[in-house]
Amino acid sequence: MDATFEFDWAAAFGSIPHLLPGIPWTLLISFGGLAFGFFIGIFFGLLRISPLRWLRWPAIVYVEVFRGTPILVQVLFIFYGLPQILGSPINALTAGIAAIAINSGAYISEIVRGGVQSIERGQREASLSLGLSRTQAFRYIIWPQAFRRMVPPLGNQAIISIKDTSLFSVIGVGELVRQGQIYIATTFTAMEVYLMVALLYLAITWTLSILLRQLERRGLAGQ
């Protein structure tokens, strides 16, 4: 039996036009989910630093549950489990965006908490001594500094969420991996196709990494 395998570069490059339609879906799910996740993260991140225990505990439970369970299980629950509770189906795109939102929101909330708590207490006290209210001190003094410190970890979370979309092929979302699976089913060139899928993901995340480094060099993500 001849077990020799030869990599077919022509098949690999020939798969690219069939994979490209998955990129818009990948970006839509990841950045759509991250947009919602950012606001979720701010909300629960601020609850985490509340002096009121009854506000802190729901945020702690949310963070621990969604950071402690796999995003694959979360998206399967949203896509297959929630329709049984709600009595109506949820389309795959909505399930994917929702999974990215709630999962990234848990991580972003910790980024927000850490960013805000990293600002020295003396700056808050100085702001209050100048006549600013607590809300004004947070809005104009604390938050701008905290946000600059949060940009690098937020960028890292964006990269993680982009890669997480590869798991959503299990619910039929037409992202990169799903497009690759469809193409492999007709060509049987799994090695070649999955290499191209990996390179396309790398191109997306590498581009985002370059943009983040540009922000850091311009001082928008300064310490």
Per residue in 70-80, pLDDT tens? 999 999 999 99
Residues whose CB falls within 8 Å of the CB of residue 127, separated by 6 or more in sequence, listed in order = 136, 137, 140, 141, 142
Q: Are 139 and 147 in contact (CB under 8 A)?
A: no
User: How high is the mean pLDDT of the chain?
Assistant: 90
pLDDT at 42 over 90: yes
Distance of CA 125 to the CA centre of its chain: 35
Q: Indicate whether 12 belongs to any domain.
A: no
Q: Indicate whether 4 belongs to any domain.
A: no
Quick count: other Cβ atoms within 10 Å of Cβ 187? 15
Whether the model clears a pTM of 0.85, i.e. scores above it, the answer is: yes
pLDDT band of 2, cuts 50, 70, 90: low
What pLDDT is attached to residue 222? 46
What average pLDDT does the segment 122-137 reach?
79
Q: What is the CATH number of the domain that holds 61?
A: 1.10.3720.10
Q: Indicate whether 106 belongs to any domain.
A: yes
What pLDDT is attached to residue 207? 94
In this structure, the dihedral spanned by the alpha carbons of residues 43, 36, 96 and 47, taken in order and rounded to 10 degrees, is 0
Per residue in 192-210, pLDDT tens? 999 999 999 999 999 999 9
In the chain, the amino acid numbered 15 is S
Q: Indicate whether 1 belongs to any domain.
A: no
Q: Indicate whether 168 belongs to any domain.
A: yes
Domain region containing 195: 18-217
Q: Which H/E stretch holds residue 40?
A: helix 22-48
pLDDT band of 221, cuts 50, 70, 90: very low
Q: Indicate whether 5 belongs to any domain.
A: no
Say how many domains are in the chain: 1
